[in-house]
Amino acid sequence: MSSRSIEIDAESAPQKGAATAEPNGAEPIIAASDVHKTYAGAGEPVHALRGVTLSVARGEMVTIMGPSGCGKTTLLNCLSGLETIEQGEIFVEGRSIHDMPDNERTDHRARRMGFVFQFYNLLPVLSAVENVELPLLLAGLGQGEARNRSIEALEQVGLHDWSGHRPAQLSGGQRQRVTIARALVNDPAIVWGDEPTGDLDSTNANQIMELLEDLNRRNQQTFVIVTHDENIGRRANRTIHMRDGLIEGETVHRQLGS
Ligand SMILES: Nc1ncnc2c1ncn2[C@@H]1O[C@H](COP(=O)(O)OP(=O)(O)OP(=O)(O)O)[C@@H](O)[C@H]1O
Ligand SMILES: [Mg+2]
């Protein structure tokens, strides 16, 4: 991991700063270097990532912004090991995510990562608490323990009284809170969000972001969130700006721990 520098766009906003994700020299929780990802389609191959290098410190909240099609979702999917890469290296918690055998990678994802996407991906026939506990039951946890942890997670997102409601009986903001509870229930080290507020009005979007910030502070979890919304973007410690499959710069909003 010799080349972990990040390109800085020096001509942009004044608060742009150094790309050091490790303020005290600690090992970054995510370290990617020269990541390339190409999709072979019916026509010309699409070079979705063309050499992305970045690092994220443990406990940091980072947002990723950039025009539609610039590779944000692809980057999230590659960093979390959901997609393969052709070139480059990705270390998560010190381990090369793409060198792990498939079953270990799946297991690592299930135990150490949580996912919050734009469209809630909740099962309509299950109640809020059943949706939250599903990953725990799939992971083999006993029913009683899974239920207790799921209720705790729903409490954390302020939905304790709604645990018996099905998704259709909840508002958009409440549904997204259930998704967040589901992402948190296994106490992950990293939470990935792909436009988690994209489907919400600005009041609900702000409330969800406040919740994520609060969880980030309280639980010291690392958050990597793709967003199109500048107001959401600047609430992180740092925004990484992407364009055309590359990182074109970053903006530091507040130092980690401040
Ligand atoms: N499974 C796929 N097969 C082929 N091409 C893909 C696939 N997924 C993404 N792409 C292409 O890769 C490029 C990057 O897509 P990606 O979804 O990462 O963009 P994005 O920045 O997340 O955009 P948006 O803001 O619209 O969600 C696009 O040109 C897209 O068409
Ligand atoms: Mg996307």
| 66-100: burial string, b at 16+ Cβ within 10 Å, e else | beeebbbbbbbbbbbbbbebeebbbbbbeeebbeb
- To which H or E segment does residue 55 belong? strand 46-56
Question: What value does the mean pLDDT take over residues 109-122?
Answer: 85
Q: Ligand 1 test: best mutation among 36, 74, 228, 229, most atoms within 8 Å of CB?
A: 74
Which residues surround ligand 1 with Cβ inside 6 Å? 39, 41, 46, 48, 66, 68-74
The protein residue whose alpha carbon is closest to atom 30 in ligand 1 is: 69
In a domain, 239, yes or no: yes
Question: What value does the mean pLDDT take over residues 150-175?
Answer: 93
| 1-30: burial string, b at 16+ Cβ within 10 Å, e else | eeebebebeeeeeeebeebbbbeeeeebbb
158 pLDDT exceeds 70? yes
Count of domains observed in the chain: 1
The residue segments making up the domain with residue 78 are 30-252
* DSSP class of 114: E
CA of 79 to the centre of ligand 2 (A): 14
Q: What interhelical angle do 128-138 and 172-184 show, nearest 10?
A: 20
12 pLDDT exceeds 70? no
Per-residue model confidence as pLDDT tens digits over 198-226? 888 888 888 888 888 988 988 889 999 99
CA 134 and chain centroid, separation: 20
- Ligand 1 atom at minimum distance from 74 CA: 18
In a domain, 4, yes or no: no
The CATH number of the domain where 46 resides is what? 3.40.50.300
The protein residue whose alpha carbon is closest to atom 27 in ligand 1 is: 68
Which are the contacts of 242, defined by CB distance < 8 A and separation ≥ 6? 52, 64, 65, 66, 70, 71, 72, 75, 248
CA of 65 to the centre of ligand 2 (A): 10
In a domain, 23, yes or no: no
Q: Among residues 69, 66, 78, which one has the least CA distance to residue 33?
A: 78
In a domain, 8, yes or no: no
In a domain, 78, yes or no: yes
Question: What value does the mean pLDDT take over residues 69-96?
Answer: 96
In a domain, 207, yes or no: yes
| Spatial separation of the C-alpha atoms in residues 72 and 66, rounded to whole Å | 7
In a domain, 12, yes or no: no
Per-residue model confidence as pLDDT tens digits over 31-75? 999 999 999 978 889 999 999 999 999 999 999 999 999 999 999
Which residues have CB less than 5 Å away from ligand 2 (the ion)?
Answer: 73
In a domain, 236, yes or no: yes
